Every structure is written in C-alpha cells, then in structure tokens.
Structure 1
C-alpha cells in the first residue's frame, strides 16, 4: 500500500506530514469509533430497558436493575486491561493492526448479544454469557478510541489537530442517533414481540456495520509518526510500564480530563433514561427520543469546540466545559424531575451539549500529553481508567436513589463532582501539552 500522498521519509529525517489525507484518515477513525460507541450505547440502553427484565428475572425489580447496570459496568472495568494490551500492540507493532483487531472484537461481541437466549430459556447461563460478551466489548473498546484518535492526530498537521480529533468524537453522537433511533423503532413493536425479538434487531445490525467499518479500516495507512519511531528504533518495549513510571502525573491529568466526557455522558443518558422510565414513570419513548435530540445538538458543539481548541488550547476548553457543567448539574436534574416531556428533552439536550464541550477536545488534549512512543498506551490508559471509574456512575446513582428516597440530588451531586475534576484536568493539562516537534507540514 503506497503512502506517497501522505508522507515522505528519509532515514534520520523527520517525517513530512501532509494535510491532504488527514481528513480521509480521520473519517476512517470516525467510522470505527461510531461502531464502537453504537455498540456501547446500545448495551447501556438495553441495560436500562431490557436486561433487567429478561436476563435477571429471578430478582426483585431494584436488584435486577442494579445487576443489569453492574453488567454494564463490567465492560468499563475491562477497558484499562484492553488499553494495556492494545496499547502494547499499538506502540510496539503499529497503530493499524491494533485497530483492526479491536473493531472485529467489538462488532462480533455486540452482534452475538443479539443472539443470546434469555433467562427463561437457559437460566443463569444467560446473564453469565451476557457478562462475558460485555467483557470482550470492554477489552476491545479499551484499545479502540485511543488508537483511533492517535491515528487521526498523527496524520494531521499540528495546527489542524483540533478539528480532526473532534471529527473522531463525532462518532459518539452519531452512534447515539443510530442506537437510540434503532431502539425507538423497535419500541414501536407490541411488547410481546419486543421482548422476544424486537430488542435483538439493533444488536444484530452490528454484523453489517462491522463489515463496512472493517472494509474502511483496511484502507487506512499506518501512522507516519509511528513509522518514524520504528525506523529510528525508538519504540517502547513495555509502553504501559513506562507510562506509569515516567509519565504518571500526565496519566492522572488525562484521567481527570476524560472523566466528564465518559461518566457525565452516561449520567445524562443511561442513568437518566432509567431514572425517568423506572422511577418517574415517564414514557420510555420520551426518554429515548430525548437522547436523539441531544445527539444532533452534540454534533454541532463538537465541531465548534474542535476549532476553538486550535485557537485557545484544548485544556482551556476542557476547564470551562467542566466548570459550566458543574454549575448546571442540579438545575438539569430538577428539570427532569418535572416529568414534563419538553423539560426533559431540554434538560438532556443542554446536559449533553455542556458535556460535549470537554468531550470534543479529549482527543486533542490527551494525545498532546504523551510523547509519540508512549502515546497510544498513554491516551488509551488515561481515557479508559476514567471510563472504568465513571462507567459505574449509573450504578452508583441508582444506588443513591435508595438513600435519597428516589430524589435526584444524589445523581446531580455525582455529576457536579466529576465535572469539577475534569475542570482541574483541563487546567493542568493545558500547561503540560507537548507537540511533536519532529512534525513538518507540507501542502
């Protein structure tokens, strides 16, 4: 596969990066990331609406919901392990082979969930197999986003990294539209058909989506910066170990900066859908459709914040996004508590737009916290340690409902705390940014 259009390289010389193919690479990263988050968001929605009833039926409703969210959280717990595994492959042998592997694992695991018999058919084997497939998803996702954003950034001219990193992040709202849209359609089926087969259809769609994503990924060239590291013999032998040993402070900042984009999102979507449907008894379609409206708004915010990051720095964007999200946490949940469909849609839309401010620039900020030879591992570990921590937020918020007498202040407090932690990450992250001085941009 020729790479003459995007790089030129002579032994001992810095790679010459062209902006010509940067968009193509970023779009390829976007497609894979969209499939990744489609699978993840699909599971989150199903955890709130399906798995608690069909896979944990031997429990009382509250325990079943907690078990369903715990299974959802298993995927997050596996993500740091996946980050180390695929970070090793990506920093040692190449970004491309790691990304090809992750996309196959994610798509296959999701589609197989759609074929799982429920508790009524195979008993305890049903939730066990569900947890195993969720674990496979988590391992693969642990390496997917970090590799995708690394590829996009390393193919882009330094001065345009914000916009191309943001393009990868657009995969999130697009995936929300696909996942929520698919669930909205199957919810139109009669309850009997929905429980029997309707809920499975969105999961089975992962098969054709995987084929498309894999076909696009196979055309993606290896990162020019990794090729340079390989030519110079500068790849790391055990990158995860070196990240913890030599870049521990940067890793902590990366974790803080990523908390809101992952945990905040699931608080406003997965937990809010469950809270509205199960506690407030709001129609399920209202809650799911609210996430569709929010996803459309998120796309616009993501593009704008990517460009803003190029002007003022991704750390500053992250800091202010965290501060405003913290201020708005309690008002947003108060709006949901009104049970008004209009107020609920407005609350979830505004909440997602605020969270998107920091999320949009995660890729630009995290990739510039780590040197190239540790980048895949550092970015993947930072993002996925944040994911492992915040992935249990819906579970914690649900448990808090028991303490608060089904009042939403506990969930709002959790959202405010992780928002402020992300603001701290943005503040220090802006001061620790390092750009690849070896990059030379060509037309």
Structure 2
C-alpha cells in the first residue's frame, strides 16, 4: 500500500524521500515507463512530422497543394481522435485486469502499425486505397498510444511513495519529448538524402526502424511487476464490468476539468509539432534545419518536464501548472509571428521556447490527472482526460490554426489560442490538488 504523505497546504514545500525510487524494482519500473513511452511516442510523433513534410506529396498528390496539406493534417487528426477510444478500451482492461497487460498489448499494436506504414504503397501505385490504408493505420496508432499513456503513468505512480509520485509519474511523460527527439532526428537524417530519394523511399526508413525499437521495449516491459494498488483491488476489479460508466456517472465534472487542464499542454504540442513545421518550411526555411531545431527543442522539453515534475512534488501540482500556462499565454502571439518568419532561426526560437513551456506543464500533468480519480477507475479516467485533450488540443489544432490563418490571419489565430489557454488556467484553479492525498483514500 502506498505510504501517506504529510497533510500540508497545497503550496507548502514537503520533504522528498529519494531512496525509495532507487531500489532495483523501482528503477526497472521507471525505466520501463520511460522507454516504453518513448518508443510509442517515437512511432506516433514520427507520423506527425512526416505528415507535415511528405505525406501530402505521396498519398494525396492528386489534390491541389493547399488541399493536400489539409488532407494530410486530417489523417494526423484521425490518430488523435482515436486516442480517447484507445484510452477507454485499454482503460477498461487496465482497470479490470491490470496495468501491465494493457501496456504490452498497446506496444505491440503501435509497433506493428508503424512498420506497416513504412511499407505502404503510394497513391501513384494503388490509388485511393493508399490514403484509406494510411488512415486505418493512423487510427490503430492512436488507439495504441491512447492505452500506453495511462498504463505507463500508473505503473510508476502506483509503485511510488507519496512524496515522489509527481516525479515518478513524469517518466511516462518524459517519453514524449524523448520519442519526439528520436523521431525528428531520424526523419531529419533521412532528409539529407537527395530530395527525390527522400520522397521515394528515404522517409520509410525511420518507420521501419520501429521493429527494432519494439523488440527492445518488450524485453524491458515484460520484466515489470503489476501495480501494488491494483493487486489489492484485483478481486473487486474483476467484478466491475464497465469502468467508463462509473467515470461518466460519478466523475464527469472531473473529466471536463481534466480535459481543459491537459489541453494547455496539448495545444502547444499541436502548434509546435505540426502547424509551425509546415508553416516554416512553406515560408522558405530549410527543412533539415527546421527538423534539427525541433530535435533540440525536444531536448529542452525533456529538461523542462523534469524540472516541472520535481517542483510539483515540493510545491503542488496546481502552482506549477498555473505558472506554465500563464507563460504560454504571454508567448502565444510571439510564437505565431516567429513561426512564420521563414528562417530556421525564427522557427528555432519559437519552437524552443514553446516546447520548453510545454514540458514545464507536462511535468506535473500526469500526477495531477491521475490523482483526480480513485483506483477503481484511475486508468480509464486519467486516460480519458489526457487523450480527450489530445484529440481536441493536438489533433485538431493544426487544422484549426490553418483555417484561422485563412480567415483572419495571425491576430485571429493568436487571440483564439490565448482564449483557450485562459480557460485552461481557470480549470486548474477549480480542480482538486492531489499532492497530499493517499491514492487509496481517493473516492
């Protein structure tokens, strides 16, 4: 059972015990949470970057350029829409049968879908079947990553001592910038090929590399033991037929707040990972330089995630989230202007700061969302919040941003983004602070 944390106010620092995160079992759990998440997000975010650079040319080359870009971002959105479905499906089995099994299945599904994308014929080869198959595989990716996040967070959070839950849970979130860096670096190396070779076959190599990553990830993940909190609840959990019904019946207000809070980080992801890449390259920035900048920005996000996670264990989840969101509000307009600068330097500044802020918010987010729900529905509830926000905040952000730029330009896009972030900030202060709660006592 988890140890109780001191009963303190939400902003008063608490003592942090680091020894219990250094046992061999805890190290294995944290490594599995990080590595598995990094591999899954490598696969998932590799698609995001490829959709910005190449898919409109090989899967939608029968469409006008502007429509092809929109269609390419549409397939990207399909994966994000599928993420809440994955969260519900894997959350159901994770809450009833255990966290570990859900993690293994989600990893296999993601790896296989990614490899098949790397082998997919183009529109010129098989016609309309190519984009249809691309959408199907993207949906499978979305379902898989929808299950990965909740399981990877909870397997770490539910093993960790109370005073270190925020930092432990963040290892799953650290996988996102690590996976993004690997994906961007892999595709960036591929762009060093002559343009015709990159368009023809070079872009496939990073997708095919997923087969090797899958083997490594499974080797580590199969050694992880089940969550102790779930083990104490297992017999009752097997009798629970549909956790999703309990979530909507008893916790729907919490879900709404959780989705809004998570959207703060995930709208930044949509703007920096997809929209800004396409806009910068279209405006004349060198694609290799853009991808290199994005790789370095992912490193900044990685470091900022660690900082945010460590601070949230000491000062609480809400204060750190609020600081990150306020900073994002202040940087929204500069980001939009810089992304359209047409140079690698302007893009680099925009994405480096944006992803640093994204990481600072991401650090406390996993523990914040997980501590909103009791053990019986924690996998389903936390996954629904994060993946629902992902579908809205990241999946549709590039599409909405493109539409807003067409309708009203930079001012309209920046204004809408600021308004969304303000709503996210309000939700932070309404939702419950969970730093000092015992997970077994949350009802």
Q: TM-score higher than 0.5 here?
A: yes
- Report if aligned partners of 1:229, 1:235 keep a CA contact under 8 Å in 2: no
Residues 86-131 of structure 1: CA deviation (Å, up to 9, x unaligned): 1110000111111111000011101110000000000001000000
Which structure 2 residues correspond to residues 36-435 of structure 1 after superposition, within 5 A?
36-231=40-235, 236-278=240-282, 280-390=283-393, 391-404=395-408, 407-431=409-433, 435=437
| Cα distance in 2 for residues equivalent to 1:39 and 1:425 | 31
Q: Any idea what SS the aligned residue of 2:119 has?
A: coil
Q: SS where residue 54 of structure 2 aligns?
A: helix
Q: CA deviation at 1:286?
A: 2.5
Change (3 A) 1:216 1:7: farther
1:26 equivalenced with 2:30 (yes/no): yes
Give the Cα–Cα distance (whole angstroms) in 1 for the partners of residues 237 and 358 of structure 2: 40
User: Within 2, Cα distance between the matches of 1:116 and 1:388?
Assistant: 25
Deviation, structure 1 residue 335: 2.4
Count of aligned residue pairs for this structure pair: 423
2:379 and 2:239 mapped to 1: Cα distance? 11
What's the CA shift for 1:186?
A: 0.6
Change (3 A) 1:235 1:301: farther
Q: Distance in 2 between matches of 1:196 and 1:285?
A: 17
TM-score for the superposition, normalised by structure 2: 0.91
Displacement of 1:384: 0.8
What secondary structure is seen at the aligned counterpart in 2 of 1:339?
coil
CA distance in 1, matches of 2:436, 2:239: 18
Gaps of 5+ in 1: 1-5, 9-16
Q: Distance in 2 between matches of 1:289 and 1:421?
A: 33
Query: What do you get for the CA RMSD once the two structures are aligned?
Result: 2.0
Alignment check: 8 A CA contact 1:35 1:209 kept = yes
- Cα deviation for residue 332 of structure 1 reads 1.8
| Structure 2 residues without counterparts, runs of 5 or longer | 4-18
